[in-house]
Structure 1
């Protein structure tokens, strides 16, 4: 999940790792809607970036579950460190020479005084894979857990799952309050939802597998 909207999102400001920035009224409504949509999906864990806006979203999701669900912080899911770009208006940043590289070759970007985009992608993927393995060991492979993070971080995770190079990840949209869903199977990831802002999420509850196919294999013909 991407966190709900903030005033910085609404005003076109790059919030980055600003800690005290919480959800605005629209963002609070988006988080509440996320909780409603996920209420029918039994979650085993909610893991969040440690920033305020993601933690607020994560707690709202957990509070919407019929049974208590633990909420954990993980620094691997934190926003990209935009360094000296943090707090500046996107309209002004678009005039910087580095902006073109951000759009066309993200793998070559190191933000001034901040993080390389390839480093951001690597630590986010490590966090998601690590947490997914741990959840599978504790709760079984047919369980659902939630990671609450930030736009560029989620786009990097989705690009990996889609087999898309980081240099093409700007083709993926991840809006505030959106849901994207991935299964990490035996042979490959499978993307079930991408930037989903309103569909029924009941299908995330894993059905019993009666296909007889090896675990993680894609069904020939597309499946049921």
Structure 2
């Protein structure tokens, strides 16, 4: 029953300028983004992370370093190409106020599964490689560190939304309903039977309280803990853990 923390990078100047940064080089966290990711590191200080896996883009590498900086445990950062930003092709570097006039924009909003960005990646390709990367790493973490391993993946807004949509059993065409703010943390617990989405778009909750600790001893005559609680469970610290999504999600 491994758990992944999906962390979006902090705010960048491209976010505030309304520019679709995509895979542009040299896009860094701004001053607000630096404070945001420092706060994420503080929130995660008490969480036993086995690994941090990051998109290769600089804003995510900066965020990853803030997560591991000052930790008492040894938590390596590994670059994972599968978590890179969507390939927006000719849209990269353009202002959102101009892109909204493109006839493709409405399809991005209502039927992303039908979208291939001009000269770039399709959204289904982005979703497939991101989900495959997360699930492969999750199997690796479980194999190396046991079923209660907790690890983090640092990536981008649309990428994290696609991973969450998969975990929720949603079609990609519905993924625009999910909010993923800069420096937010979403938590997915993977089990043999299904993923559980513990929280989405958390920007201020005590993450240690949201992560269920390993059981002290097996409970007799009870099926494995990956069964869904009937009736809703006990809430935080019990069988089911949830937190409402908050805020808005600027385009990455």
* TM-score in terms of structure 2 length: 0.86
Structure (1 or 2) with the greater helix fraction? 1
Give 2:72's aligned residue. 66
1:158-183: per-residue Cα shift (whole Å, max 9, x none)? 00111111001000010100000001
Counterpart contact for 1:31–1:177, Cα < 8 Å: yes
Check the 8 A contact 1:185/1:216 in 2, yes or no: yes
Match of residue 109 from structure 2: 103
CA distance in 1 between partners of 2:163 and 2:214 (Å): 27
Gapped runs of 5+ residues in structure 2?
A: 1-6, 239-252
Q: Which residue of 2 aligns with 1:217?
A: 227
Structure 1: gaps spanning 5 or more residues: none
The residue number in structure 2 matching 1:38 is: 44
- The residue number in structure 2 matching 1:196 is 202
1:22 deviates by: 0.9
Q: Please give the per-residue CA displacement for 1:192-219, whole angstroms capped at 9, x wherever unaligned.
A: 1100110010124432335533141112
Distance in 2 between the 1:176 and 1:89 partners? 18
Instruction: Let me know the Cα RMSD of the aligned residues.
Output: 1.1
What TM-score, normalized by structure 1, do the two folds share? 0.97
CA distance in 1, matches of 2:49, 2:214: 17
Aligned to 1:206: 212
Spell out the pairing of 1:75-114 with structure 2 (5 A cutoff).
Answer: 75-114=81-120
1:132 and 1:138 mapped to 2: Cα distance? 10
Answer 1 or 2: higher relative contact order, Cα 8 Å, separation at least 6: 2
Task: Give the structure 1 partner of residue 56 of structure 2.
Answer: 50
Q: Which residue of 2 aligns with 1:168?
A: 174
The number of residue pairs the alignment matches comes to: 224
- Counterpart-to-counterpart distance in 1, 2:73 and 2:175: 36
Q: CA deviation at 1:19?
A: 2.1
SS at match of 1:32: helix
1:151 equivalenced with 2:157 (yes/no): yes
